[in-house]
Structure 1
Amino acid sequence: MKKTLSLFAISLAVATGAVRAEDMTDAEVRKVDKDAGKLTLKHGEIKNLDMPPMTMVFVVRDRAMLDKLKAGDKVKFKAVKDGGSYVVTEIQGTP
């Protein structure tokens, strides 16, 4: 039940635009694994997760996010911890 409420709260925040630009983290795409639904990002500090800059693999909430990405792309993203995985819930390309 707690997990369901958490996912609902995240979905609501994204749907209502409650995800602010300052909640997003800058990153560079290192690898896109469409089959596994995973994304390797070299990212800056992720404040909402209290995580320092590093390169790591994330699961994506929606595999369709991966269709527009390739290694080397500069992006801004939002991630949450869901169970034992770090999940990208929103991603935007940067100019």
Structure 2
Amino acid sequence: MGRIINSTEELEERTEITVRDLEGALVGFAVVVPDYDDHVGLCLGTQWHWVHPDHRGTVGRMILREIFKIARYHGYKTVAYTKRLGVGRYEINYKQLKEKTHG
């Protein structure tokens, strides 16, 4: 956990999202940063995203929705994040955000 804390604190510009249970225990978090990806250009990149195994599903979706809200608020059209496929295996995903329409 110390490695994650240190690498997060080194980021000049970041947004941290935390989710805690009723007792105050951390059950999920994410750290997002402005990023430039060769495939999609300027985007909001997910630096860290973790959810306790007992809270996966609801908490994971809650964090993703918040990441998308933050991205829209700051004018990003794309969110980049990784998905763990197995030990040492990850894939990069790109979520193209749709404009929210009111009316």
Tell me the TM-score normalised to structure 1 length: 0.26
Q: What is the TM-score normalised by the length of structure 2?
A: 0.25
RCO (CA 8 Å, sep 6+): is it higher in 1 or 2? 1
- Structure of higher CA gyration radius: 2
